[in-house]
Amino acid sequence: MAIKSEMELYAPVKAYLEQLGYEVRGEVRHCDIVAIRGEEPPLIVELKRSFSVPLLLQGIDRLRLSRTVYVAFERPAKGRAPHGASWSELRMLCGMLGLGMMTVQFYKSRKPRVEVECHPPELSPEGRAAAGNVRKPRRSKYAADKLEKEFKERQGDYNVGGSSKRKLVTAYREKALQLAHLLHRYGPQAPRKLRDATGNAQAAATLRSNVYGWFERVERGIYRLTPAGEAALDEYKHVLEGGFRFEETGGLDGEGAQ
């Protein structure tokens, strides 16, 4: 059965990776799927409805961030490789590009099946030797570090990989929601109190920059929630209900004590 959106690939690929012991996040710094297991380098998966040149180009670009990159797409209903190629030819092509390949088979009455057609050549000595003469994008340590930092600072997975034109729940937005939640609960507060309650060292900077229009200063050193902030708490209720891993250390009250 033909899927209508690449977003439909996200849940089965995520479930497959979680069964292998990975922690999975969707839409992390423009990557459809990022998965991390222990101290291993990030595993990245790019999703498309079908096998295509744009999918391969996205995968090649992600090699700047990690050498463990897969492309994933829906497996045609009859099992034939796309574009008149053979599966062995597609595996060879992905291997030459330094990529792994996954397919997802969808059924009418049972769960989708994820199949790893080939792993990135970096995962085996033989593969590294075979792909040794292939020129790959230079790895960017700066960009790779930013990817891992964003992944590790997120407290939940609230985005669907492959989505577009949707507001993403980033680590920054999660932390801003923490502050909004406390201001809603306790009333106007000093940044220092919010910093201590959340463990967010950038609490004061987030309040001052007010990227989303959720906060306003009512007097020197005291901030409150705006109507836009109240609306955001309702819009992102699913994030709040997911729970935040932070301790309220006390000292918060309805008078904004300094």
Q: If pLDDT is split at 50, 70 and 90, which confidence band does 134 have?
A: low
Is pLDDT of 245 > 70? no
Give me the pLDDT at residue 78, please.
84
H and E: helices and strands count for the chain: 10, 8
Using the predicted structure, report yes or no on whether residue 257 has a pLDDT greater than 60.
no
Looking at per-residue pLDDT, the higher value among 146 and 124 belongs to: 146
Confidence (pLDDT) at 124 = 66
Helix axis angle for 227-235 and 171-186, nearest 10°, is 120
Residue 255, pLDDT > 80, answer no
| Ramachandran assignment for 174, one of left (phi > 0), alpha (psi -120 to 50 degrees), beta (any other) | alpha
Structural domains of the chain, ranges and CATH numbers in brackets: 6-153 (3.40.1350), 171-242 (1.10.10.10)
pLDDT, one tens digit per residue, over 48-73 is 999 999 999 999 999 999 999 999 99
Q: What is the pLDDT of residue 46?
A: 98
**Residue 12 corresponds to which tokens in the numbers above?**
């089965």
Token pair of 88 as six digits: 């062995």
Maximum Cα interatomic distance, the chain, rounded to a whole number of Å: 70
Q: Which amino acid is at 96?
A: M
C-alpha radius of gyration, the chain, whole number: 22
Rounded to an integer, the average pLDDT of 191-212 is 94
CB–CB of 37/151 below 8 Å? no
- How far the first Cα of the chain sits from its last, in Å, is 61
Contact present, 44 and 66 (Cβ < 8 Å) = yes
**pTM for the model:** 0.86
Give me the mean pLDDT over the 146-163 stretch. Answer: 92
Q: How far apart are CA 105 and CA 2, in angstroms?
A: 10
The more confidently predicted of residues 128 and 146 is: 146
- Cβ neighbours of residue 120 under 8 Å, at least 6 residues apart? 67, 68, 69, 70, 98, 99, 100, 127
For the residues 76-99, what does the mean pLDDT come to? 92
pLDDT score of 132? 57
Please state the rounded mean pLDDT for residues 31-36.
97
